[in-house]
Copies of this chain bind each other. A is one copy, B any other.
Amino acid sequence: MYAPSEAARRSGFSLDTLRYYEKIGLLSGVGRTSGGRRVFTDDDLGWLVLFRCLRDTGMPIAQMCRYAALAREGEHTAGERKALLEEHATRVEEQMRLLQHQYDHLREKIRYYEDVTGAG
């Protein structure tokens, strides 16, 4: 059981983002105290960690919503969810290749400056 600020700290999302994720239905079923304040469970935190992973790897929010909706539908969507993640993983691999490629370019450019400015 975590207070909103604690959930934010642990997930790396801002409070506003947590509220936003709930508002758009990405995160659902977040509990409330009698006073109306959010209570995050370990399960919620698990979701947030996954969302962190997917966002950091560039998945659009709409796709995360799709994934979350499938998960809510039950066990029989496991195959579809897996396929979704695999497609994403493939895109991430491409992204990593491109990033590496352009990083090499960048390093080359810097090496050029090293020659021009007389090392340094």
Residues on A lying within 8 angstroms of B by beta carbon are 50, 52-54, 56-57, 78-79, 81-82, 85-86, 88-89, 92-93, 95-96, 98-100, 102-103, 105-107, 109-110, 113-114, 116-117, 120
Question: What is the chain B residue whose CB lies nearest that of A59?
Answer: B106
With A95-B99, A99-B92, A100-B96 in contact, is A120–B56 under 8 Å at CB? no
Establish whether residues A102 and B50, one from each chain, have CB atoms under 8 Å apart when the complex forms.
no
Report Cα–Cα, A89/B102, bound state, in Å: 10
Report Cα–Cα, A110/B54, bound state, in Å: 13
Question: What is the chain B residue whose CB lies nearest that of A105?
Answer: B53
Report Cα–Cα, A99/B89, bound state, in Å: 11
As for how many copies of this chain the complex holds, the number is: 2
Shortest beta-carbon distance, A34 to chain B, in Å? Answer: 35
Report Cα–Cα, A34/B54, bound state, in Å: 51
Shortest beta-carbon distance, A103 to chain B, in Å? Answer: 5
Establish whether residues A89 and B107, one from each chain, have CB atoms under 8 Å apart when the complex forms.
yes
